Amino acid sequence: MRRKKRVKSLGFARRSMLFINIAFVVLMLLSYLSSVVNPTHVWPMAFFGLAYPFLLFIHVLFIAFWILSRPVFALISLATILLGWKFLTLTIGFRESQAIEVPKSSKDMIRIMTWNVHEFKPFGSKADKPVRDQMLEIIRNEQPDILCMQEYYSKRRGESNIKKMITEIMAAEHYHVREDFGNPWELKGMVIFSKIPFTDTGSVVFPNSPGSNETIYADFEYDKKKFRVYNVHLQSINFKPEDYKYIKTVKEEINTDVQSSRRIGSRLKRAFIKRSEQVNYLSKHIKAYPGPVIIAGDFNDTPASFAVNKLSSGMRNAFREKGSGFGITYNGEFPNFQIDYILASKDFEVKSYLTVNKKLSDHYPVRSDLEFRTP
Are 357 and 279 contained in the same domain? yes
Is residue 123 in a domain?
yes
Is residue 104 in a domain?
no
Is residue 1 in a domain?
no
Are 187 and 274 contained in the same domain? yes
Per the prediction, the chain carries an average pLDDT of 90
pLDDT at position 1, please? 43
The secondary element (H helix, E strand) that includes residue 8 is helix 2-9
**Residues of the chain above pLDDT 70, percent:** 90
pLDDT at position 374, please? 82
* Residues recorded for the chain: 375
Beta bridge partners of 197: none
Are 130 and 171 contained in the same domain? yes
The predicted-structure confidence for 50-68, as pLDDT tens digits, reads as follows 999 999 999 999 999 999 9
Are 63 and 118 contained in the same domain? no
* CATH number reported for the structural domain that contains residue 120 in this entry: 3.60.10.10
Is residue 227 in a domain?
yes
What is the pTM assigned to this prediction?
A: 0.91
Rounded CA-CA distance 202/214 in Å is: 11
If one counts the domains in the chain, the total is 2
Are 81 and 118 contained in the same domain? no
Rounded CA-CA distance 182/128 in Å is: 20
Are 209 and 290 contained in the same domain? yes
Rounded CA-CA distance 108/273 in Å is: 40
Count of CB atoms situated within 10 Å of the CB of 365? 25
pLDDT at position 76, please? 97
Is residue 342 in a domain?
yes
Are 233 and 289 contained in the same domain? yes
The predicted-structure confidence for 242-265, as pLDDT tens digits, reads as follows 655 655 565 555 556 667 778 888
Are 343 and 239 contained in the same domain? yes
pLDDT at position 241, please? 58
Among candidate residues 58, 90, 122, the one where a domain is terminated: 90
Q: How confident is the model at residue 209 (pLDDT cuts 50, 70, 90)?
A: confident
Are 68 and 123 contained in the same domain? no
Are 137 and 45 contained in the same domain? no
Mean pLDDT of 202-222: 91
pLDDT at position 159, please? 87
SS3 (DSSP) at 274 = helix
Half-sphere exposure (Cβ direction) of 162: Cα atoms closer than 13 Å:
28
Among candidate residues 60, 90, 120, the one where a domain is terminated: 90
The predicted-structure confidence for 102-122, as pLDDT tens digits, reads as follows 678 788 899 999 999 999 988
Residue 121: give the domain boundaries. Answer: 110-372
Count of CB atoms situated within 10 Å of the CB of 353? 25
Let me know: does 195 contact 145? Beta carbons within 8 Å: yes
Mean pLDDT of 183-205: 95
Among candidate residues 40, 61, 90, the one where a domain is terminated: 90
Is residue 254 in a domain?
yes
CA–CA distances in Å: residue 273 to residues 106, 132, 207, 232, 320: 42, 34, 13, 17, 26
Residue 174 has pLDDT above 50, yes or no: yes
CA end-to-end span of the chain: 60
Is residue 95 in a domain?
no
pLDDT at position 261, please? 77
DSSP-derived secondary structure for 119-167: GGS-TT----HHHHHHHHHHHHHH--SEEEEEEEEEESSSTT-HHHHHH
Residues 6+ apart with CB under 8 A from 183: none
Of 176, 180, 164, 167, the C-alpha closest to 213 is 180
Let me know: does 147 contact 166? Beta carbons within 8 Å: yes
Mean pLDDT of 14-19: 94
SS3 (DSSP) at 117 = coil
Are 49 and 195 contained in the same domain? no
Of 292, 111, 296, the C-alpha closest to 215 is 296
Is residue 102 in a domain?
no
DSSP 106: -
Are 85 and 132 contained in the same domain? no
Residues 6+ apart with CB under 8 A from 106: 351, 371
